[in-house]
Amino acid sequence: MVFIVLIILTSCEKEDINYIRVDKELISELNSKSYDTLMIGSNSFILDAYLWRDFQPVSPPDGKPMISINWLINTDSTAIPDNIDMIKQYVIYEDSIWISEYENEYRTNLPEYKIEKVSREGPKWGPKIYVDVISKVRDFKTNNNYYIIKKNVYVIRTD
């Protein structure tokens, strides 16, 4: 009976919303279906990202976990349709990947041509390293998923 419970618990771990794992196959798959510039209908999008680790005096000696802010930007500066949203983030460092659903944090003063999403409690990679950031974007009108990438994003250290 204990063995069955362990199998169930182990299989549930893979469904975590915020986790880190080594998975060359998933990284390869995500890279193959991600675009630097994403076209959905007549809209053209790019991704921007800012990642950091906090080492301020109130932080633990080895720093706080990574935080990431992603922006989906409509390149023609027109409003992003309401049916488009970012739903999941993938941060890739070497053979490891941090997978996270975005937090429910919203700023009200963003221009209409940008969507901003935040992920917290990431890995303690770096700082002063480069990562690739992929965002899973959903068109809720068609229920299609798309992937957009920002390569070589520098992870900042805050002191």
- Nearest of 89, 71, 76, 79 to residue 34 by alpha carbon: 89
Cis previous bond, 81, omega within 30: no
For the stretch 79-125, pLDDT in tens is 999 999 999 999 999 999 999 999 998 888 999 999 999 999 999 99
- Topology, domain 17-158: Immunoglobulin-like (2.60.40)
How far apart are the C-alpha atoms of 138 and 26, rounded to whole Å? 19
What residue ranges of the chain have pLDDT lower than 70? 1-17
What's the confidence (pLDDT) of residue 108? 82
- Nearest of 54, 24, 53 to residue 126 by alpha carbon: 53
Locate all alpha helices (DSSP H) within 80-155, ordered by sequence: none
The amino acid occupying position 13 is: E
The amino acid occupying position 66 is: M
Query: What are the residue boundaries of the structural domains of the chain, listed by start?
Result: 17-158
How does strand 34-35 pair with strand 144-158? parallel
What's the confidence (pLDDT) of residue 103? 94
